[in-house]
Structure 1
Amino acid sequence: MLLQILRRTATLIVSLVVSSVLVFVFMALLPGDPARVALGVNASEASVAQLREQFGLDRPLVAQYLSWVGGFLHFDLGTSYVSRVAIAPQIVDRLQVTLWLVVCSMVLALVIAVPFGTLMALRQRRPSGLVLSALSQVGVAVPAFLAGILLVTVFAVKLQWLPANGWTPPNEDPVQFLRQLVLPVLALGLVQAAVLTRYVRSAILDVQREDYIRTARAKGLGPMQALRRHGFRNAAIPVVTVLALQLATLLIGAVVVERVFVIPGLGSLLLDQVANRDLIFVQDIVMLLVLAVLLVNFVVDLLYLVIDPRLKVATR
């Protein structure tokens, strides 16, 4: 098992190095001079040259890359080309907002997907199972931004139960924070729940066909008892895999949903800096998102060793 952990750690490190090179090269290849963008088209050549030297843009690309990676490892993300303000504190503030949105949405998706996916599998040929399957198909077809617009139209405009947009930190007004969190979490969570429900259903159906489930049923256990004792752990393996993939989708969806609900999260910050052509800011945010996705996949790989006993036997 220790050897497997070391292998996965090495894979994570190599993936991070390759990803950082790709992100840096992609940003370096974009047209335009960041110093010229920051100072404006009317700036003198001397001013542009001075700013390029200040930001280190006059150095070789290899030196710029090594400096950027070294700063990233110490969470020194540099200074914005446009606002001349340190980047790290701004990202930390916005990241807290996005984490609330992503974590709550994923929890909601799991709370919905696990029981309803199991119910769909157990009642696949009954009317209730068919209705749930149809609803999940509709949820898969609806994008998160459209779900957000529909929720705002119904619950904010028509019924006026919840605010349509805005963000209040939880330490300032917990009640208003929860009210403003409900609609964006529903917009993201319901769409993700529809996708996960299909995978939970498929995993449960596959487990039900296994010999050990048939043996448990033959010994007198009911469908739910057999699943609870022998099936859920094996069914969790493909679902955990999908969760890692869905997190990347959730982060991308959060970018759009934050715009719909005017939430000052990391996605909104990324779009703002793309509009400002603040390339170092965009580079840092993209790398941070890549790091988050790779770390989640790394954690999922480690969970396989816990969930699947066959991997433990294979590593002995």
Structure 2
Amino acid sequence: MPGYIVKRVLAVIPVMAIVALIVFLILRLTPGDPAAIIAGDAATPDQIERLRQSMGLNEPILMQFIHWVGQLLQGNLGTSLLSGTSVNALIADRIWPTLNIAVLTIILSVAIAVPLGTFAAWRHGRIGDRVVMIVSVAGFSVPAFVVGYVLIKIFAADLRWLPVQGYRAPSAGFGEFLRHAILPALTLTAAYVALTARMTRASLLNVLGRISSAPPGPRAWARPGFCCATACAMPRCRC
């Protein structure tokens, strides 16, 4: 497992380098003068020239790229053109809410998807299996923003159970954190539940087919084979 993680991380490096080059070229080769855009319509030519000089836009494009990559490797992401605030500070303000909602999304996804996938494998070929698969396809097909609008309409606008916006840190009280984070977490959970439920079902059916000659169905649940298949389908188990 550690070797696999290292390989995946190393594989990301050339991808990130290519993405960085593409982003830089798009920013630099797009028609228009970035300095004039930032300075605004009221800026004088001298002010625009000084801004262009401070941004290094008068240098050859290769030197601009080297300087840009150097600043990026040092962790200097520059200043926001909208707020004038350091990009590092903006990311720092938002990283913990993002991580908290991501963790909640993962917990909800596993808690919902694994039982659904197990139920679909148990009812393989029957109505329960088909219902779970239809729900999974819907979870893949419906865009996240549509799911978000529907949840807001039901739980915030109509029932008024949850707030439409805002964030509370877990340190301010887990109940308040949950009230504000549950809607975005559920919105993100829809697609992950669809994927994880299908993977759980496929893994269970594969393992069950290897450890038991009986076809998966309601009667197999009472046998040791189905319970063993559930354990063996977990990523860290080997049967």
Higher helix share: 1
- CA distance in structure 1 between the aligned counterparts of 2:81 and 2:136, rounded to whole angstroms: 45
Structure possessing the higher relative contact order (Cα contacts under 8 Å, 6 or more residues apart): 1
Give the structure 1 partner of residue 12 of structure 2. Answer: 12
Q: Which residue identity is paired with 1:232?
A: A
TM-superposed CA distance for 1:50, in Å, is 0.3
> 1:107–1:6: structure 2 CA closer, same or farther, 3 Å change rule?
closer
The structural deviation recorded for 1:49 is 1.0
**Alignment correspondent of 1:224:** 226
2:66 maps to what in 1? 66
Conserved 8 A contact 1:38-1:82 = no
User: What is the rounded CA distance, in whole Å, between the counterparts of 2:185 and 2:88 in structure 1?
Assistant: 26
Please state whether the residue corresponding to 2:85 is helix, strand or coil: coil
Equivalent residue, structure 2, for 1:303:
none
- Partner SS state of residue 41, structure 1: coil
Identical aligned residues as a percent: 33
CA shift at 1:3, angstroms?
7.9
Rounded Cα–Cα distance in structure 1 between residues aligned with 2:224 and 2:29: 61
Contact 1:34 1:81 in 2 (8 A): no
1:81 is displaced (CA, Å) by 3.9
In the alignment, the residues of structure 2 paired with residue 91 and residue 208 of structure 1 have an alpha-carbon distance, to the nearest angstrom, of: 46
Give the TM-score, by structure 2 length.
0.82
- The residue type equivalent to 1:106 in the other structure is I
Code of the aligned partner of 2:226: M
- What is the TM-score of this pair, normalised by structure 1? 0.64
**TM-superposed deviation, 1:117:** 1.0
Change in 2 beyond 3 A, CA 1:129/1:10: closer
Q: Is the 8 A contact 2:105 2:185 kept in 1?
A: yes
5+ long unaligned stretches in structure 2: 216-221
Q: Is residue 2:215 matched to residue 1:214?
A: no
Match of 2:218 in 1: none
Work out the CA distance in 1 between the residues paired with 2:225 and 2:158. 43
Q: Would the aligned equivalents of 1:35 and 1:51 in 2 still touch at CA under 8 Å?
A: yes
What per-residue deviation string (whole Å, max 9, x for no partner) do you get for residues 247-266 of structure 1?
Answer: xxxxxxxxxxxxxxxxxxxx
Whole-angstrom CA distance in 2 between matches of 1:4 and 1:176: 39
The aligned counterpart of 2:168 is 168
Distance 1:34-1:83 versus aligned 2 partners, 3 A rule? farther
Aligned to 1:159: 159
Give 3-state SS (helix, strand or coil) of 1:209's partner. Answer: helix
Q: Supply the distance in 2 between the matched residues of 1:53 and 1:153 (Cα, whole angstroms).
A: 50
- Native 8 Å contact 2:117 2:197 kept in 1: yes
Q: How do residues 186-197 of structure 1 correspond to structure 2 at under 5 angstroms?
A: 186-197=186-197
Task: Indicate the residue corresponding to 1:239 in structure 2.
Answer: none
Please give the alpha-carbon distance, in whole angstroms, between the structure 2 residues aligned to 1:130 and 1:10: 40
Query: Amino acid of the residue matched to residue 200 of structure 1?
Result: T
Query: What is the alpha-carbon distance in structure 1 between the residues aligned to residue 3 and residue 110 of structure 2?
Result: 31
For residue 77 of structure 1, give the secondary structure of its aligned residue in structure 2: coil
Larger radius of gyration: 2
Structure 2 partner of 1:148: 148
Alpha-carbon RMSD across the aligned residues, in angstroms, is: 3.0
Distance 2:224 2:77 in 1: 57
